[in-house]
Amino acid sequence: MPIAMPDLGPSIDEAQLTRWMVTAGTAVRRGDVIAEVESDKALLDIEAPADGVIGELVVEAGGRVRVGQPLARWAGEDAGLAIAVERGAPAPAESADAAGSPPDAAAADVAAAGAVAANAVVADVAASVAVPLEARREASVAAAEPAQQRVFASPLARRLARQHQLDLARRRGSGPNGRIIKRDIERWLAEAPAPAPAAASDSALGQSVLEPHSAMRRTIANRLTEAKRDIPHFYLTIDCDVGALLALRAQLKETYPDLLLSINDLVVKAAALALAETPSLNVHWTEEGLRRLSTIDVATAVATPGGLVTPVLREADRKSLRIVSAELRALAERGRLGRLRPEEYRGGGITVSNLGMHGIREFAAIINPPQAAILAVGSVEPRPVVRDGQIVAATLMTCTLSADHRAVDGATAAAYLAAFRRFIERPLALLL
């Protein structure tokens, strides 16, 4: 009976198996973490679907595996005998006798157990019934991990080490008890000698180093290529006067000093309320029809060392600014650490991509399917504007909406941007 790769969410057909937590012969219980895989969004734990003994690891660490493909195989139905005995349950033959099964059925069970025992792995497990299960599981996990993986390191440090092919064995970090953290990786990379350049097939390339694609970067590349190629994008751009928004933020920070409220938090709340006013934009395109969403869920683009992730803030229109701010920070942190759960990046009615903090005045983003739109937010800056025939200074923010013309018409996209600008320029509505 195989242990198959589970469904990781829409548009995710495969992932890279980064490491095994078990080896052949490991006794596991349902829910135990047996492997770690990397999708385009995050590092995910694969759990054992049932109690039993691992018989064979089908996919090697570093290999790619598709959804539904076998990751490993159980040692056999009778391989779980040790677990059953430790729990005080009767052995299979004893259960049959107690139920009044005929002698030939019991004999068949014994014969089956004998056949499984011929497998050396299962025989070793059955012989270790007297050893506590937890001790055997810990020993198996320790044996499954090579020495270079048995280190104390943060998840982000492990990801950076894998990306730069940095061996963490016999290294000691600057964290508590020698734990390796991000700054240790950065320091070691800065101290390391420059790698020898790879041979270039074209002399015009000069000296260069070929860095293999990570699973995350490869999946992002494939999805964005498909999105740009298959989705008929159109773009609408609008300028928003954020003077009143900045004044409200300053008042809130003065009244509530503990409130860590960013401009992006206010933008996300405005984007959610505008989506609630224009439900025709809150759709997913499918070949069968338009899927109209019942809740206002806003995804936000978060840059990570491995690439871009888009965690989703659920029911953003119904949440206070304090909750929006706290949840966005928590989602962004888990995204940077690669620890988003599948339900935290699936779906969403629209994505907000904000590059204003990097000084980008305006840009057009690629739609994140199956969503029908993405809002690109630029920097906040003073610009000259004409008011009542006079040139005056105003603080403006340029936003560009990319929309899927299969699902959304120009009038709908324009109505959304008009609603968004109204919430930005009259920000008291964000407090209701």
Residue positions annotated with a catalytic role: 405
Nearest-angstrom CA–CA distance, 158 and 166: 9
- What is the β-pairing status of strands 350-354 and 373-387? parallel
List of E strands, 106-226: none
Nearest-angstrom CA–CA distance, 50 and 28: 8
- What is the β-pairing status of strands 283-285 and 290-292? antiparallel
Kindly list the strands in the beta sheet with 52-57, ordered across the sheet, starting from the edge strand earlier in the chain: 2-4, 70-74, 52-57, 27-28
83 touches 27 (CB < 8 A): yes
49 touches 3 (CB < 8 A): yes
Identify the bridge partners of residue 291 per DSSP, sorted by sequence position: 284
- What is the β-pairing status of strands 33-38 and 14-20? antiparallel
**Structure tokens that stand for 116 in this block:** 């499984």
Residue 239, H or E segment: strand 233-241
